[in-house]
Chain A
């Protein structure tokens, strides 16, 4: 296709640069000020790790972070399993009964306002008398994030050359074997990207978690939210920076895994 170099106008460069500055500047400022020695959030008082020390003494915050990490890891793993199965069913299952409903249920949560998803899940949990806490939040997050996993994996499956599976069968693989020997290694990067996405979405969610959690089981965003409502505190900058760092590490590790298990030149598109 487009092997030739496209003309990049000055307008293109300016809009790209401004766009990226807009996206990154607030985050950079936040990270820098987390190392501020001053109590005043906006006055630079020199470099310091003071707020990180205070953070580690804030047991409620640490507890919430631990809860969030457990929820994110558990729900991302279940969501990856279910979402991958759903993607396989959608892209290889041809037409089956209830397929339209199935794909509708998978695509709708991607845009569904979180207040609706959160409220409806809570009402379900109340109706079945489930004890609210770790598992209800995990189930809620799994429901949301498996849809993202399904979309990521499905688009990868769709872009695969169908003749690869045929070639594998031609060379003696039964259909399930052909899928495992050829298709599975090729979609691993997408599955890894899906897990990553599910993990960060879960770590990030405030609204659904607020609805579905119970007393004494606050997640990190719930904790941050209640602090933020009371005003800006340098300590929040510190925890936010840590979350950003964690996500950066997850992204880097995951893309390394994806790179190792994938083919050169085929990057895992995270979305």
Chain B
């Protein structure tokens, strides 16, 4: 036992309150989601038939288990709406994560190569938009993209187009919004790994005869892979469940899964189906979530 362990006991005591909080408000609620995803829809308030009634005793509980139903999940598989939503979400998330990586990498690389004293400034500049409201930033794009918005005016004035282009309610607008909103999440982990990299490594690569591109591809990029992984997951996972951006910027003919969940919940008041959608979404995201958890843990605990 080392004396470091003197810290251990009070530190463990510190865990109690946040631990209980997270169990109560993060873990337990998933139990409710799961439970309600297995129950029947009724028109009532709340709009589902309770599955468990703990006051009714053991026999009732046993009966309740018998009444659990997978109907909601069967619906998800049988109805194209849901399958297409999941597929669209994954496609959108993959495509926009790829775009984010392509756009974010050069920016992060540029930041890491700035003179030392400018780097914190550049980092601040990237972070500040992230602090300003997400919704406001999407709104700012609506301003620009709308029919008589700034973009169309500029394009018309420059005679690039002869009549206004429809930007809003298109997939392009949605991708633009996603890339715009998530860019800091891609840049920051990339920058963190690139800035830590020993510049002598790149110099050694060049010294050993590699062209600038080869230096990048054979030295810099492989070493930045942990940052790439973190950035990709940090963007991909939330984008899959994104609601606001597709809702405000994309057209309404095909929905992402976050929108479907929202629709089921707020418009159709079908809580059991909304819960089933959430359960499946969570299952889809489980693997990336686990990988992300590992990465995050390693990154935070390596510093110890």
Contact = CB atoms under 8 A, between A and B. Distances in A.
In the complex, are there CB atoms of A and B closer than 8 Å?
A: yes
B22 A143 contact: yes
Contacts of A85: 14-15, 17-18
Contacts, number: 295
Interface in A3-18: 4-9, 11-13, 15-16
21 contacts: A2-B116, A8-B113, A15-B106, A19-B103, A19-B107, A27-B129, A42-B143, A86-B15, A94-B4, A112-B237, A112-B241, A113-B285, A116-B33, A143-B25, A175-B7, A179-B10, A206-B244, A207-B244, A228-B248, A232-B146, A244-B132
A242 to B, nearest CB: 10
Given A111-B238, A111-B292, A158 B301 contact: yes
Nearest to B24: A124
A267 B120 contact: yes
Given A92-B8, A207-B243, A251-B128, A115 B32 contact: no
B185 to A, nearest CB: 9
Interface in A75-122: 82-83, 85-86, 88-94, 96, 98, 102-117, 119-121
A151 interface: yes
B21 interface: yes
Question: Is chain B's interface secondary structure helix, strand, loop, or mixed overall?
Answer: helix
Interface stretch (B58-66, B75-83, B270-278): B270-278
Interface residues of B, number: 104
A23 B126 contact: yes
Interface string B86-111: 00000000000000000100110111
Question: Is chain A's interface secondary structure helix, strand, loop, or mixed overall?
Answer: helix
Interface of A: 1-2, 4-9, 11-13, 15-16, 19-20, 22-24, 26-27, 29-30, 33, 40-42, 82-83, 85-86, 88-94, 96, 98, 102-117, 119-121, 123-124, 126-127, 139-140, 142-143, 146, 150-151, 154-155, 158-159, 162, 165, 169, 175-176, 179, 196-197, 200, 203-204, 206-207, 210-211, 221, 224-225, 228-229, 232, 236-237, 240, 243-244, 247, 251, 267, 269-271
